[in-house]
């Protein structure tokens, strides 16, 4: 930790890319300010409420890592710091209860599945508008209110087969991560991902008993929990040559397994092997090269850079290349793409006010493109920006890159995307 802290020369290149510094202009809510606090803690300063508040306010978006000319590993620094906060800082009983509820729900697909039926009934009852007007949830818990607002329409989630065969000659065999929120609330994205891979000549293996990859836990300082999820994921996908991931946060976490399990002699080599064969969907498809025919999609889209795709994984050009390869599709760039939308895993639940400010900023920039469709590669981003657009009175459908490709490869009309 001290060696990593010394890499920062406090030049300030990170400041204009840091979402919280952009919002508030406070030095201690910038990467170099937080590094200064980390140095104080290394020298013996306690993790008091004020210091922890600045660490909690960080989105972990990694835009500063991209901007830094000195190669500061802020991603590693904030993860280590958050683990220390969880181990050393006594949070209030209410805050502990909220955090525990989040981490007992979201990393468990079966629990999310059990929630779908009651959620569907609630959304169809007419109660949401009444509940929101009353403000009762905000008074009870801002986190609970944020969860209610962000909950997506509950769609049916047909179970994917454990194997989807390649169309035409087989070019590759890949494993596919289905995720937790992605699996239960965005099942259409997983179905589209499997179809696109198959149409491009891949046998797709979808292990039925796969679980959470540990991304939410890892990025929240719950290291022991993250390691347990990581070991299970390594075991699940050990027999495949490539693992394709369609959720930016998940892919980022899996590429970090080598670091996460580095001190575990029994797992370090296995973790490194998994990290090396993990690919984001767009990354893998560009490496593979196109084979299936692209049919025209006359639609204008705005492409959103998910932070854990662009900054953590360095995957920026590949999604744009895939979209540019679709005839008659136009891609519009969103202003300030390096500034996070405010989703950031559990951030929009635990820091709802700051997240809403960032969501509004992103929604304004998205609307300014004049696009007919927003394309994003992370379920949290899709929920966050869609909710912010709705708050501003705008109605813009959101689709994953996989769904846009799927529509083009299957020759579906653009209307199938625009009526989402």
Whose tokens are 């498809």? That residue is 285
- For 17-60, write each residue's pLDDT tens digit: 999 999 999 999 999 999 999 999 999 999 999 999 999 999 99
Please, what is the end-to-end C-alpha distance for the chain in angstroms?
A: 46
pLDDT for the residue 399 = 94
For residue 380, count CB atoms less than 10 angstroms from its CB and return exposed for 0-12, middle for 13-18, buried for 19 or more.
Answer: buried
| Section 235-243 average pLDDT | 93
Contact predicate 6/43, CB 8 Å: no
pLDDT for the residue 420 = 58
| Section 273-278 average pLDDT | 96
Whose tokens are 């202003």? That residue is 335
- The dihedral formed by the CA atoms of 212, 382, 363 and 251, expressed in degrees to the nearest 10: 50
- For 7-17, write each residue's pLDDT tens digit: 888 898 999 99
Contact predicate 157/116, CB 8 Å: yes
Sequence-separated (6 or more) residues with CB below 8 Å from residue 318: 280, 282, 283, 285, 286
Question: Of 345, 134, 360, which is closest to residue 219 (Cα–Cα)?
Answer: 345
Q: Hey, CA dihedral for 49, 54, 60, 64, is it positive or negative?
A: negative
Per-residue CA distances from 255 to 64, 75, 107, 233 (Å) = 19, 13, 18, 12
- pTM of this structure: 0.91
The number of beta carbons lying within 10 Å of the beta carbon of residue 86 is: 16
Residue 323 β-bridge partners: none
Question: Of 4, 3, 19, which is closest to residue 64 (Cα–Cα)?
Answer: 19
Q: Hey, CA dihedral for 401, 403, 408, 414, is it positive or negative?
A: negative
Q: How many helices (DSSP H) and strands (DSSP E) are in the chain?
A: 26, 9
Question: Of 300, 295, 304, which is closest to residue 326 (Cα–Cα)?
Answer: 295
Question: Of 78, 151, 220, which is closest to residue 380 (Cα–Cα)?
Answer: 151
Q: How confident is the model at residue 2 (pLDDT cuts 50, 70, 90)?
A: low
Domains of the chain, each with CATH number or no CATH: 2-88 (1.10.1060.10), 93-150 (no CATH), 163-286 (3.40.50), 293-418 (3.40.50.11810)
Question: Of 369, 366, 314, which is closest to residue 341 (Cα–Cα)?
Answer: 366
Strands 202-205 and 172-176: parallel
Contact predicate 401/323, CB 8 Å: yes
The number of beta carbons lying within 10 Å of the beta carbon of residue 338 is: 19
pLDDT for the residue 157 = 66
pLDDT for the residue 345 = 87
Q: Hey, CA dihedral for 256, 261, 265, 270, is it positive or negative?
A: negative
């Amino acid at each position: 930790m001290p060696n990593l802290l010394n890499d920062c020369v406090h030049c300030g290149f990170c400041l204009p890319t840091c979402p919280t510094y952009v919002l508030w202009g406070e030095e201690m809510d910038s990467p170099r300010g937080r590094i200064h606090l980390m140095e104080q803690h290394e020298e013996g300063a306690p993790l008091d409420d004020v210091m922890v508040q600045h660490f909690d306010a960080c989105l972990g978006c990694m835009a500063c890592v991209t901007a830094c000319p000195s190669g500061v590993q802020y991603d590693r620094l904030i993860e280590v710091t958050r683990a220390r906060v969880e181990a050393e800082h006594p949070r209030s009983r209410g805050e502990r209860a909220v955090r525990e509820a989040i981490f007992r729900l979201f990393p468990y697909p079966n629990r999310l599945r059990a929630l779908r039926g009651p959620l569907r009934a609630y959304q169809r009852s007419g109660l949401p508008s009444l509940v929101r007007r009353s403000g009762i949830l905000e008074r009870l818990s801002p986190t609970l209110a944020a969860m209610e607002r962000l909950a997506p329409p509950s769609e049916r989630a047909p179970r994917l087969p454990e194997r989807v065969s390649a169309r035409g000659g087989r070019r590759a065999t890949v494993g596919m991560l289905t995720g937790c929120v992605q699996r239960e609330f965005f099942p259409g994205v997983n179905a589209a991902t499997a179809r696109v891979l198959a149409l491009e000549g891949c046998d797709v293996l979808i292990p039925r008993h796969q679980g959470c990859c540990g991304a939410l836990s890892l990025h929240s300082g719950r290291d022991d929990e993250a390691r347990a999820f990581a070991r299970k994921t390594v075991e699940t996908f050990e027999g495949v040559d490539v693992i394709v991931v369609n959720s930016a946060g998940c892919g980022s976490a899996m590429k970090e397994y080598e670091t996460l399990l580095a001190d575990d002699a029994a797992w370090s080599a296995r973790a490194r092997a998994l990290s090396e064969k993990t690919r984001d969907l767009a990354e893998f498809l560009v490496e593979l090269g196109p084979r299936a025919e692209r049919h025209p999609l006359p639609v204008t889209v705005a492409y959103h850079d998910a932070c854990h795709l662009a900054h953590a994984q360095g995957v920026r050009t590949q999604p744009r290349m895939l979209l540019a390869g679709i005839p008659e599709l136009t891609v519009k760039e969103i202003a300030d793409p390096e500034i996070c939308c405010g989703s950031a895993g559990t951030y929009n639940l635990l820091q709802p006010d700051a997240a809403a400010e960032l969501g509004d900023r992103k929604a304004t920039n998205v609307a300014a493109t004049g696009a007919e469709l927003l394309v994003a590669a992370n379920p949290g981003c899709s929920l966050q920006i869609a909710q912010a657009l709705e708050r501003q009175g705008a109605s813009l459908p959101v689709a994953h890159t996989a769904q846009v490709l799927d529509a083009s490869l299957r020759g579906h009309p653009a209307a199938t995307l625009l009526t989402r």
